[in-house]
Amino acid sequence: MGLWWLKEAIIPLLGLWLRAVALSADAGKTAFDWLGVGGRIAALLDVLQIGLGIYFVTRPYKIAARLIHAATSSAEVINEA
C-alpha cells in the first residue's frame, strides 16, 4: 500500500511543480505564487500522502503487529460475550 501511495503522489507532485516552475517565469511570478491556493492544497496533500507512504514502507512489521494485536483483542472480547 505504501509503494502505491508513493507512486500516486510523487508523479503528480513532480508534474505540478515542474509546470509551476516552467510557467511561473512566463507569468513573472514565483512558482509558489503561480500555484495559487488550489495548487498549494494539492501539493500539501501529495506531500502528506508521500509521508504516509514512506511510513507504511519503512514500518511494515510495526503496523502488522498493531493489526494482529487489535484483531486478537477484539476476538477475545467477542469470545467472552
Whether residue 40 has pLDDT greater than 70 = yes
Quote the pLDDT of residue 34: 85
Quote the pLDDT of residue 11: 93
**Three cell numbers, residue 17:** 511543480
The rounded distance, in Å, linking the Cα atoms of 24 and 22 is: 6
Of 39 and 75, the structure prediction assigns the larger pLDDT to 39
Secondary structure (H, E, C), 13-76: HHHHHHHHHHHHHHHCCCHHHHHHHHHHHHHHHHHHHHHHHHHHHHCHHHHHHHHHHHHHHHHH
Name the pLDDT band for 35 (thresholds 50, 70, 90). Answer: confident
Instruction: Return the H-helix or E-strand segment holding 2.
Output: helix 2-27
Quote the pLDDT of residue 81: 61
pTM of the model: 0.72
pLDDT in tens, 55-73: 999 988 888 888 888 888 7
